[in-house]
C-alpha cells in the first residue's frame, strides 16, 4: 500500500496547507479519501492521474472534507471521462452534488454512482477479489465514518525448485497457487506446502478523521498495519476537543496502543500551534510508532 497525503490540516485552506484529502494505492486501485478544497490542484501537483480514480470515499459533509468534490466531478467531465465513478458518503451527498450539476447544467457524460451511508454500525461498502472496505463509525458533530481498507489473502507463491524437482507440468501451476495438492501419475500425493511458499501477509489501513475520542472503534481497527487518526488539538486544549468533538494527539495514541496497530499517522492539525512536531512529541509519550502527516508526504507499508 502507498498513501499520499494531499491535505491534512483542519478547517480552512491556507497558502501552504490544505484541508483533508489523501490517495491510497493498493492492488492496482487508487482510492481517493475525502476531497477538501484544492484536491484536484494537489492531484496535479503530485502527478496523480485523474483517470485512475474510480472510487471516492467521503467521511462526512463538513466543507473541509468534501467541498473539492463538485469541482473534481466537473473536471472529470471536461476531461472526457467515460468510466463509471463511485462516490461513497453520508446520506445527502447525492443531493448536494447533483444540485450543483443541475444548476450549472453540467450533468456528467459518464456514469456517476452514489452509495449513501446512514448506518451507525460498521458495514461492508466495497469488495472485489482483492480488497474490502468497511466503514468505521466515528463520533463527530454530524454523521461521520472512517474507512478500513483490507487486502484479501493472495495466492500462494510457487516454489520453482520444488515443482521442477517433481517435474510438474506448467498446466497445473495455477491450481497449485490456489492451494491444491498434486496427484502424480502413480497416485502419489504431493502436498501443496511442499510446492509453495505462504503468500505475503495482507496489509490494512484505517482512516479515522474528525472524531471525538472513541474507544469503541478499537475492535474494528485491531492490529491494522497503519492507522491515520485525527489529532486536531494538543492536550492543553482537551476542553476544545471535547466541545468540538475532535481528538488530541494523546487520545489518538491511546487508540493506536489499545488497537495494537503497527503505525500511527497523525493529521487534521489545528493551525493554532507553531509546529506539528508538538503533536508527535505528545503522542510518543503513549505510543512508539508515530508519524506525522503533511501535505505531499507519502507513506508505504507492507
- Which 8-state DSSP code applies to residue 276? T
Residues 6+ apart with CB under 8 A from 41: none
- Judge whether 276 and 292 are in contact, CB under 8 Å: yes
Indicate if the alpha-carbon torsion angle 4, 8, 12, 15 is positive or negative. negative
Residue 39: helix, strand or coil by DSSP? helix
Give me the catalytic one of 64, 105, 128, 198: 64
Residue-by-residue DSSP string for 148-199: EEEEPP-PPEE-HHHHHHTT--GGGHHHHHTT--EE-TTS-EE-GGGTEEPP
> 131, 135, 128: which is closest to 26 by C-alpha?
131
Q: Is 64 a catalytic residue?
A: yes
Query: According to the annotation, is 210 in a ligand binding site?
Result: yes
Query: According to the annotation, is 139 in a ligand binding site?
Result: no
How long, in residues, is the chain? Answer: 302
Query: According to the annotation, is 64 in a ligand binding site?
Result: yes
Angle subtended by helix axes 93-103 and 69-78, to nearest 10:
50
Query: According to the annotation, is 268 in a ligand binding site?
Result: yes
Gap between the terminal Cα atoms of the chain: 6
Query: According to the annotation, is 29 in a ligand binding site?
Result: no
- Residue 23 has phi, psi (to 5 degrees) of -120, 130
Query: According to the annotation, is 140 in a ligand binding site?
Result: yes
How far apart CA 135 and CA 158 sit, in angstroms, is 35
- Which 8-state DSSP code applies to residue 9? B
Residue 45: helix, strand or coil by DSSP? helix
Look at phi and psi of residue 118 and say left if phi exceeds 0, alpha if psi is from -120 to 50, else beta: alpha
Active site residues per annotation: 64
Binding residue positions: 60, 62, 64-65, 140, 210, 268
Binding residue positions for Zn(2+): 60, 62, 64-65, 140, 210, 268
Amino acid at each position: 500500500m502507498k498513501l499520499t497525503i494531499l491535505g491534512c490540516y483542519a478547517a480552512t485552506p491556507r497558502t501552504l496547507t490544505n484541508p483533508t484529502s489523501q490517495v491510497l494505492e493498493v492492488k492496482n486501485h487508487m482510492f481517493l479519501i475525502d476531497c477538501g478544497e484544492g484536491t484536484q490542484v494537489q492531484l496535479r501537483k503530485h502527478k496523480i492521474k485523474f483517470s485512475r480514480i474510480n472510487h471516492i470515499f467521503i467521511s462526512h459533509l463538513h466543507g473541509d472534507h468534501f467541498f473539492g468534490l463538485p469541482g473534481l466531478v466537473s473536471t472529470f467531465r471536461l476531461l472526457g471521462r467515460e468510466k463509471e465513478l463511485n462516490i461513497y458518503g453520508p446520506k445527502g451527498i447525492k443531493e448536494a452534488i447533483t444540485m450543483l450539476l443541475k444548476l450549472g447544467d453540467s450533468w456528467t457524460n459518464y456514469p456517476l454512482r452514489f452509495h449513501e451511508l446512514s448506518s451507525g454500525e460498521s458495514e461492508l461498502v466495497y469488495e472485489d477479489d482483492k480488497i474490502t472496505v468497511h466503514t468505521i463509525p466515528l463520533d463527530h458533530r454530524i454523521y461521520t465514518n472512517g474507512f478500513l481498507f483490507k487486502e484479501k489473502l493472495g495466492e500462494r507463491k510457487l516454489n520453482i525448485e520444488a515443482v521442477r524437482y517433481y517435474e510438474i507440468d506448467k498446466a497445473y501451476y495455477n491450481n497449485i497457487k490456489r492451494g491444491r495438492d498434486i496427484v502424480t501419475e502413480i497416485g502419489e500425493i504431493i502436498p501443496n506446502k511442499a510446492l509453495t511458499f505462504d503468500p505475503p501477509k495482507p496489509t490494512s489501513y484505517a482512516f479515522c478523521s474528525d472524531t471525538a475520542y472513541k474507544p469503541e472503534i478499537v475492535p474494528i481497527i485491531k492490529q491494522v498495519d497503519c492507522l491515520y487518526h485525527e489529532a486536531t488539538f494538543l492536550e492543553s486544549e482537551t476542553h476544545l476537543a471535547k466541545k468540538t468533538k475532535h481528538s488530541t494527539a494523546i487520545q489518538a495514541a491511546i487508540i493506536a496502543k489499545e488497537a495494537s496497530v503497527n503505525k500511527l499517522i497523525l493529521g487534521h492539525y489545528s493551525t493554532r500551534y507553531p509546529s506539528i512536531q508538538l503533536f508527535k512529541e505528545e503522542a510518543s509519550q503513549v505510543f512508539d510508532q508515530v508519524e506525522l502527516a503533511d501535505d505531499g508526504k507519502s507513506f508505504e507499508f507492507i
